[in-house]
Amino acid sequence: MDTYATLAQLRRYLGLRDAQTGDDALLGALLDAASRLIERHTGRRFSPRRSVQRYDCRRPFELLLRDDLLALHALINGDGTLIDLAHVRLEPPDGPVYAGLALDRARAAFVYDGDPAGALAVDGTWGYHPDWPAAWRDSGAAVADDPLGAEATTIHLSGSGAVFEAGHLLRAGDEYLRVDGSDPLAGTLTVGRGANGTTPQAHPAGTALAIYAPPADVVQVCLRVAGWLYRQKDAGWVQAAGGLRGQVTVPPALPDDVALILGPYVRLRVA
């Protein structure tokens, strides 16, 4: 699962020297714990994920979504037909993310054959970002492989620009890739393909690589919580049991500033 800050960011936040790597596995577990805490507190995910969600067909022209929608790719009616997206209005119309769909009543309606439960399929990119159009920043680097095969896990880079870190989420075309390692001297990346529900694809040489940037304050909360937990390890909140990554017990009370920063992000759910 995604973490909202990278290990390298947390090491810099804690002021650790390059040689101080003994706790890296624990730091990774703390980043994961902090990211999941942010999601539980807000009821939101702050990284994009492509998936098809099923919904009951209850109203003929409106659909309330369970999760935040960043982009709608396809809407499949309960009778198996595609609904023309030109006849769909995303709600609220000014975003930045969408909580519902409304149909043009003169041109489309939700229908179903048989059971209305789970009859509608919404193919979308799900997640929350307050400025989705600016969520991806150009890395200044591109694919040098000609082409990069759909199963390749090493990317040779052309160009220069951003520093890639393990944990970064990249976008190449319609595919997301997760950085597992970087070798700046060799100009290569080791990546996981088809991340977050996307499909691995072949990419021609010159395909630009964009880096996903979670909301800056969410990144800071992730670092704040992970760093705070790390400093509590001697108090028994963080235990090194349960495998190489350790076992993390989150205290019942967290720093007040964390709840204050996350407050505006808490998702209100309407029945």
On whether residue 240 sits in a domain, the answer given is yes
DSSP class of residue 127 equals -
On whether residue 131 sits in a domain, the answer given is no
On whether residue 195 sits in a domain, the answer given is yes
* Statement to judge: residues 220 and 199 lie in one domain: no
* 238, 232 contact by CB (below 8 A): yes
Q: What is the mean pLDDT of each run of 10 residues along the chain (271 residues)?
A: 95 96 94 93 96 97 97 98 98 94 98 96 98 95 97 94 91 98 94 98 97 97 93 62 52 75 84 49
* Statement to judge: residues 55 and 84 lie in one domain: yes
* Statement to judge: residues 37 and 24 lie in one domain: yes
Spatial neighbors of 266 by CB under 8 A, at least 6 apart, are 41, 42, 43, 44
The closest of 122, 144, 131 to 65, measured between CA atoms, is: 122
Q: Looking up tokens 């390059």, which residue turns up?
A: 18
Among 126, 159, 179, the domain boundary falls at 126
Count of structural domains within the chain: 3
Q: Which pLDDT belongs to residue 1?
A: 81
Q: Distance between CA atoms of 46 and 26, rounded to whole angstroms?
A: 23
Q: Which pLDDT belongs to residue 245?
A: 46
C-beta pairs of 264-270 under 8 Å, 24+ apart in sequence: 265/42, 265/44, 265/128, 265/215, 265/218, 266/41, 266/42, 266/43, 266/44, 267/42, 267/43, 267/44, 267/68, 267/128, 269/43, 270/64
Q: Which pLDDT belongs to residue 252?
A: 55
Structural domain boundaries, residue 264: 1-46+214-271
DSSP, collapsed to helix, strand or coil, labels residue 41 as: helix
Task: Count CB neighbours of 117 within 10 A.
Answer: 12
* Statement to judge: residues 220 and 248 lie in one domain: yes
158 φ/ψ angles, rounded to the nearest 5 degrees: -120, 155
Q: Which pLDDT belongs to residue 242?
A: 46
* Statement to judge: residues 183 and 251 lie in one domain: no
Q: Distance between CA atoms of 258 and 219, rounded to whole angstroms?
A: 11
DSSP class of residue 213 equals -
Q: Distance between terminal CA atoms of the chain?
A: 28
Q: Distance between CA atoms of 158 and 188, rounded to whole angstroms?
A: 9
Among 94, 126, 158, the domain boundary falls at 126
Q: What is the number of residues in the chain?
A: 271
20 φ/ψ angles, rounded to the nearest 5 degrees: -90, 80
Q: Which pLDDT belongs to residue 121?
A: 98
Beta bridge partners of 245: none
